[in-house]
Amino acid sequence: MTREEQLRVAIADALDLALDGVQVSPWPLSNPTPPAIDVVRDSTEYDQTMAGPGQHHDWNFIVRVYVAFNADIGAQRRLAEVCEQVKPAIEADRSLGGVAQSVHVRSQSGDKIYQHERNPNLAYLGREFSVFVMAP
């Protein structure tokens, strides 16, 4: 398993452990069953310490949270309920089960509307979390 996959799986496992009734995937979902969460790779900054190449990298991931956008107020409430649990779930174990030196949820976006890739009549309401991981 690559380091990227180890980190993705660790983030997804932390969320899956804390959130009941939510589909959680370490990979982007092409057909989510809401409520759903997926982990998307963002940028990586290599060699971030004076210890030398390969010692420490700054990994960035986007955690996307989706709910069905079929009821205005209900969807917003459900999204808020799920999102309230994301940061504490990811940061509960700062080492992500031993695969990271530290993890920090840096930010949460505002609400976004996502269109289903295959069905343009289907929409999701969601938010994105920026997750920073320090790991070799």
**Reported pTM:** 0.91
Q: Where are the alpha helices (DSSP H) in the chain?
A: 3-18, 72-91
Rounded Cα distance, 100 and 95, in Å:
5
Condensed to tens digits (0 to 9), the pLDDT of residues 32-90 reads 899 999 999 998 887 765 555 556 788 899 999 999 988 779 889 999 999 999 999 99
- Selecting from 3.40.250.10, 3.30.70.1700, 3.40.109.10, 3.40.640.10, what CATH number does the domain 3-135 have? 3.30.70.1700
Rounded CA-CA distance 121/117 in Å is 10
CA–CA gap between residue 77 and residue 94 (Å, rounded)? 28
pLDDT digits (tens, 9 = 90+) for 91-131: 999 999 999 999 999 999 999 998 877 778 888 999 999 99
Domain spans, the chain? 3-135
DSSP 5: H
Q: Which residues contact 100 (CB under 8 A, 6 or more apart)?
A: 7, 10, 94, 133, 134, 135
